[in-house]
Chains A and B, each alone.
Chain A
Amino acid sequence: MASQEMEQLVRREYTQGFVTDIESDTVPPGLDESTIAFISGKKGEPEWMLEWRLDAYHQWLKMTPPSWAHLDYPPIDYQAISYYSAPKKPEDRPQSLDEVDPKLLETYEKLGIPLHERAALAGVAVDAVFDSVSVTTTFKDKLAEAGVIFCSISEAIRDYPELIKQYLGSVVPKADNYFAALNSAVFTDGSFVFVPEGVTCPMELSTYFRINAANTGQFERTLIICEKQAQVSYLEGCTAPMRDENQLHAAVVELVALEDAYIKYSTVQNWYPGDEDGKGGIYNFVTKRGDCRGDRSRISWTQVETGSAITWKYPSCVLRGKDSIGEFYSVAVTNGRQQADTGTKMIHIGEGTRSYIVSKGIAAGRSDQSYRGLVKIGPRAKGARNFTQCDSLLIGDRCGAHTFPYQEIGNATSTLEHEATTSKIGEDQLFYCQTRGISEEDAVSMIVNGFCKDVFQELPMEFAVEAEALLNVTLEGAVG
């Protein structure tokens, strides 16, 4: 097979590109104090929240965008972005799925996400975020019974101000980095989860984010708190319609795990990666961090990243509590002209802390991909342990994969293991499979899925199936 055909094989069209026509209530592009006051006012926020946002904004003004990542993109004009967009009548939001705009439901159908079915059959409560405002929340009663709070961050600011004051920005400070500061100033919605002491959340919580209004940046803010001995599994899945202009997405996710708590956070991300020249895709600059604050707490990040033109994302764990555990399982697929600089940070502070990193990168087309991982062992983290496995799979000969492992070791009793491999799907491998009767496309998907299985097995069941399907779609080509 010629390399040209190989390339065709990995090229595919974005099958989830379409735009839903729901009138938006959008502010004009631009960012200043009045924009922030507008957002805060729209959300009916208290004064202290506005001040919090303005403080973040002022810090952001003094900061510069990071340039250390292995990414290449033109400067972003932050004044050309519209920072708020909501479905037209926020006051009469539907109380149940029956009242949801049928066009939205149709949108979910097109995405292969039958919301009501999914919610009913899988027992998943869905806090659907659509253009920055939660449109519907289900299963609230069942959660309330267990004492679990699952609502939009805006609701939480209004209804649980003490929890917000205590925890918001406590893991990712307002001025943590350029994009986090921007998010802190202008975030419009996102999810809030609070699981009280001793409670295991009775169902997996799921939010589908969706970017819709043209040229509107999405600034989600998610905060998940697990009190002592509490447990929750949270699923985040994203898709986006086709776009001509780049859409900036700068989310912040904060996780707090107290003593013996366990938070499992899984993401499947499939945003529009841009056309063949990389034009029009989503810019995804995300700050995700979990704080293992209590002893023996555990935070696990699992991500399957297939979309976006640019991904800048490092879900991290701060292992403060004694014997706490941080985990990071990642599959990142890039194709076409996609660029991804992703990885994790494991900051070992407490004694006996452990971290596991399994990163699988798949690069095809002309894409470029980097794994960037930091393992930092503090002086008090006696007996800390890290295991890192970092593998890259190349499809074709015009893509690139890079690995940047950083280690900072502050004591002599810690153990670090690092394994890394790079392999390539060769024409010989595909030919071999084909001579056994397996089609080229199935052979690619078999090899890719085999490569990713260590990560997929960490995903919740229905997500794992979705992730495999997504990978197949992502690497689908003009074959057959």
Chain B
Amino acid sequence: MMLEVKDLHVTVEGSEILKGLTLTVNPGEVHAIMGPNGAGKSTLSAVIAGKDGYEVTGGSITFEGKDVLEMEIEERAQAGLLLGFQYPVEIPGVKNIYLLKAALNAQRTARGEEEIPAPEFMKLVREKLNFMQMDPSFLQRAVNEGFSGGEKKRNEILQMLVLQPKLAMLDEIDSGLDIDAMKVVAKGINSLRSEERAILLVTHYQRLLDHIEPDVVHVLVDGRIVKSGDKNLALELESRGYDWLVEGSAA
């Protein structure tokens, strides 16, 4: 297995958000985590990525056998865990292309590889940019600065395509996207699908799953996964809502 989350308990500012979450993701799989607002969906990906302010009070996270909670944030990324943000931050003064190159080289260096030669890098980036239907001028703009919501999300996927993570975690990647942007983003994510790679989608709505077909759907309610199933579970949620599961978990 690639990612194993066992009985994870996480507290944020004194209140417990994840209350014994267990999840296993294997290579080649696409998992969707769904659930009502406040269930702890974003907390899960944030904890896996290593965000400050989340206290793990119990349980474990292992990635390819390594204890993720013992790793620095950048080490997690270097190991192949990549988080796509719901609200990517703006970094004025730092060109997009510079961030991409620094990130790629940091990961290569961590793997004991040489830094990528500039021409090879440019070729790679142009190809991915093209695929994401982004204008080359994006590269020269400051990271996310003045980007529209859709542009920011495309940029997150562009980074994924360049960095080629083993496990791509996408937090509400569909929020704020119109249907055309959604199609492009979904195309990007689908292109990441492979035997060696896994994808974890955190989403509130079913509509993203019309474009990216998940292998497993989990329903996260009140800090626990209360139900797992195949893609049909997502459709059921679409028609029935979450209430029937929320009531069940309260017991």
Question: Which residues of A are interface residues toward B (Cβ below 8 A)?
Answer: 1-2, 421, 423, 426-429, 431-440, 442, 446-447, 450-451, 453
A475 to chain B, nearest CB (A): 14
Could you tell me if B98 and A446 are in contact, using CB atoms closer than 8 angstroms?
A: yes
Could you tell me if A447 and B93 are in contact, using CB atoms closer than 8 angstroms?
A: yes
Q: How many Å lie between the Cα of A427 and that of B53 in the bound state?
A: 11
Are A446 and B74 also in contact (CB < 8 A) when A2-B52, A437-B110, A438-B106 are?
Answer: no
Residues of A within 8 A of B82 (CB): 435-436
Could you tell me if B52 and A437 are in contact, using CB atoms closer than 8 angstroms?
A: no
Could you tell me if B103 and A438 are in contact, using CB atoms closer than 8 angstroms?
A: yes
Are A450 and B103 also in contact (CB < 8 A) when A436-B159, A437-B163, A440-B74 are?
Answer: no
Q: How many Å lie between the Cα of A450 and that of B89 in the bound state?
A: 16
A419 to chain B, nearest CB (A): 13
Interface centre among A423, A432, A447 (most CB of B within 10 A): A432
Residue B2 at the A interface, CB < 8 A?
no
Residue B214 at the A interface, CB < 8 A?
no
Q: How many Å lie between the Cα of A426 and that of B89 in the bound state?
A: 9
**Contact pattern, B 49-88, Cβ under 8 Å of A = 1, otherwise 0:** 1111000000000000000000011101110001101001
Q: How many Å lie between the Cα of A247 and that of B126 in the bound state?
A: 54
Q: How many Å lie between the Cα of A431 and that of B73 in the bound state?
A: 8
Main SS at interface, chain A: helix
- CB under 8 Å from chain A, chain B span 157-182: 159, 163
Interface centre among A1, A435, A438, A453 (most CB of B within 10 A): A435
Could you tell me if B93 and A436 are in contact, using CB atoms closer than 8 angstroms?
A: no
Residues of A within 8 A of B72 (CB): 434, 439
Interface centre among A429, A432, A437, A450 (most CB of B within 10 A): A437
Q: How many Å lie between the Cα of A446 and that of B77 in the bound state?
A: 18
Could you tell me if A435 and B50 are in contact, using CB atoms closer than 8 angstroms?
A: yes
Q: How many Å lie between the Cα of A401 and that of B99 in the bound state?
A: 27
Could you tell me if A438 and B93 are in contact, using CB atoms closer than 8 angstroms?
A: no
A446 partner, pick from B73, B89, B102, B110, beta carbons under 8 A: B102
Could you tell me if B93 and A451 are in contact, using CB atoms closer than 8 angstroms?
A: yes
Residue B95 at the A interface, CB < 8 A?
yes
B213 to chain A, nearest CB (A): 26
Could you tell me if B159 and A431 are in contact, using CB atoms closer than 8 angstroms?
A: no
A450 partner, pick from B94, B106, B163, beta carbons under 8 A: B94
Could you tell me if A432 and B89 are in contact, using CB atoms closer than 8 angstroms?
A: yes
B174 to chain A, nearest CB (A): 20
Residue B107 at the A interface, CB < 8 A?
yes
Residues of B within 8 A of A435 (CB): 49-50, 73-74, 76-77, 82-83, 85
A432 partner, pick from B78, B91, B93, B107, beta carbons under 8 A: B91
Could you tell me if B106 and A447 are in contact, using CB atoms closer than 8 angstroms?
A: no
Are A437 and B89 also in contact (CB < 8 A) when A427-B52, A431-B51, A431-B52 are?
Answer: no
- CB under 8 Å from chain A, chain B span 114-166: 142, 159, 163
Looking across the interface, which residue of chain A has its beta carbon closest to that of B106?
Answer: A437
Residues of A within 8 A of B98 (CB): 446, 450
Could you tell me if B78 and A437 are in contact, using CB atoms closer than 8 angstroms?
A: yes
Q: How many Å lie between the Cα of A437 and that of B82 in the bound state?
A: 9
**Contact pattern, B 19-61, Cβ under 8 Å of A = 1, otherwise 0:** 0000000000000000000000000000001111000000000
Additional pairs, 4, CB under 8 Å, beyond known A421-B92, A433-B103, A434-B77: A426-B89, A434-B73, A437-B110, A453-B93
B147 to chain A, nearest CB (A): 13
Residues of A within 8 A of B110 (CB): 437
A382 to chain B, nearest CB (A): 36
Q: How many Å lie between the Cα of A146 and that of B89 in the bound state?
A: 54
Residues of B within 8 A of A447 (CB): 91, 93-94
Could you tell me if B52 and A450 are in contact, using CB atoms closer than 8 angstroms?
A: no
B114 to chain A, nearest CB (A): 16
Closest 5 CB pairs of A and B: A450-B93, A437-B77, A436-B103, A450-B94, A434-B73
Residues of A within 8 A of B107 (CB): 437
Residues of A within 8 A of B85 (CB): 432, 435
B232 to chain A, nearest CB (A): 33
A5 to chain B, nearest CB (A): 8
Q: How many Å lie between the Cα of A435 and that of B74 in the bound state?
A: 6
Q: How many Å lie between the Cα of A436 and that of B103 in the bound state?
A: 5
Q: How many Å lie between the Cα of A2 and that of B51 in the bound state?
A: 11
Could you tell me if B92 and A434 are in contact, using CB atoms closer than 8 angstroms?
A: no
Q: How many Å lie between the Cα of A451 and that of B142 in the bound state?
A: 10
A-B contact pairs, 23 of them (CB 8 A): A2-B52, A426-B89, A431-B51, A432-B88, A432-B91, A433-B99, A434-B50, A434-B72, A434-B74, A435-B74, A436-B77, A436-B102, A436-B106, A437-B74, A437-B77, A437-B103, A437-B106, A438-B102, A446-B99, A447-B93, A450-B91, A450-B92, A451-B92
Residues of A within 8 A of B163 (CB): 436-437
Residues of A within 8 A of B94 (CB): 446-447, 450
Could you tell me if A429 and B91 are in contact, using CB atoms closer than 8 angstroms?
A: yes
Q: How many Å lie between the Cα of A298 and that of B92 in the bound state?
A: 31
Looking across the interface, which residue of chain A has its beta carbon closest to that of B77?
Answer: A437
Q: How many Å lie between the Cα of A1 and that of B50 in the bound state?
A: 10
Q: How many Å lie between the Cα of A438 and that of B100 in the bound state?
A: 10
Could you tell me if B89 and A429 are in contact, using CB atoms closer than 8 angstroms?
A: yes
Looking across the interface, which residue of chain A has its beta carbon closest to that of B84?
Answer: A435
Residues of B within 8 A of A437 (CB): 74, 77-78, 103, 106-107, 110, 163
Interface centre among B88, B93, B102, B103 (most CB of A within 10 A): B93
